[in-house]
Amino acid sequence: MTSSAISGLRTAEIALNAMGPQRDNEFRCVQRKILLETLEKELPSGTIKFSSKVVSIEESGCLKLIHLSDGSFLKAKLLIGCDGVNSALAKWLGFKKPASVGRFGIRACVYYENGHDLEPKISLFMGKGVRYGVLPCDDKTIYWFFSFSPSSQDEEIIDNPAEIKQLVLGKLGKVADNIKAVIDDTELDNMMLSPLRFRHPWEIIWGNISKSNVCVAGDAFHPLTPDIAQGGCAALEDGIVLARCLGEALRDRQVMRSEGKGIEEEDEHKRIERGLQNYAKERRWRAFQLITTAYMVGYMAQSDGKILNFLSNTVLAGFLAGRLPRIASYNCGMLRTS
């Protein structure tokens, strides 16, 4: 459901369970912490090495030597960079630092011990240079986000959570009291503010998503603004496609080993390289589409101009209500089990 923060009027509404090729699936808001903990539990104990910032990467034949900030190093037949917007792997592949869009984003969760009264709807609001949304995660937790273009005065308070919260409350516009209450009930420690950045789309088209036995995924590959709510989802898509491409490239190797035959290190390296190339080819245009769409939606939704404000509250509201579920319903294919 989209509404105008200027007039308070509802501008579009659509049922999420009645759209796209995956209409039988659910749309859910999943807290990142819970998602990461769930994925971590599926890994063998000791798989994850914490506090291990990458300092440099060195070639060593078919291997890569990863030097870490604690002085240790790792040897890798395959190196996948999932190290976020400031990725050392993306820099090694030749990508530039992600560009700022001149906006800030705030994310927060509110927990109600006795439950909340919000309906299971995604409520989006746009107008006067801001865009924000509120949606329940479950019966007791509500997630909200708020993005805005800061003035010089706003930039002076970005390190003060209490003043940032008041800034948000002051920019909500005409909105129902229960929505205001969600922001008002938010604990300061549960708010996270960060500058919004993205990778220029032409870098995705012409850049090296993979090189030799190295590739990038997630925000290291395609940092995008949160305006279409697909950053985390796109990273999960990357994981599925990457696993499938590598599995197909290395399938013959598994057969040879099961038959007691050896496989040359160089041949294995070439198979990995081919798998990564297929991954890059499959994900390039999807990443381009997501970055471009997110940037344009954010640009229009948060313009202060009268014309773009009008378009934002009419054309863009309807577009978002209909288009966003379709973008999220993208089918990246299945993993093969044999």
User: How open is the CA angle 328-39-36, to the nearest 5 degrees?
Assistant: 75
pLDDT of residue 283: 98
pLDDT of residue 221: 98
The amino acid that residue 157 corresponds to is I
84: left (phi over 0), alpha (psi -120 to 50) or beta: left
Whats the size of the chain, residue-wise? 338
Say if CB 140 and CB 116 are below 8 A apart: yes
Say if CB 81 and CB 216 are below 8 A apart: yes
Which whole-number Å values give the CA distances from 5 to 118, 131, 196, 277, in the listed order? 18, 8, 21, 45
Cβ-count burial 106-133 (b if 16+ within 10 Å, e if not): bbbbbeeeeebebeeebbbbbbbbbbbb
pLDDT of residue 196: 96
Residue 27 DSSP code: P
Query: Which phi and psi angles does 118 have, rounded to 5°?
Result: -75, 145
Residue 109 DSSP code: E
pLDDT of residue 194: 93
Instruction: Record the tokens describing residue 223, joined without a space.
Output: 């940092």
Report the C-alpha gap between 166 and 134 in whole angstroms.
Answer: 17
> Residue 18 pairs with which residues in a beta bridge?
none
pLDDT of residue 262: 53
How many beta carbons lie within 10 A of that of residue 180, not counting itself?
13
pLDDT of residue 306: 63
Say if CB 17 and CB 23 are below 8 A apart: yes
Low-confidence ranges of the chain (pLDDT < 50): 259
pLDDT of residue 24: 62
pLDDT of residue 40: 92
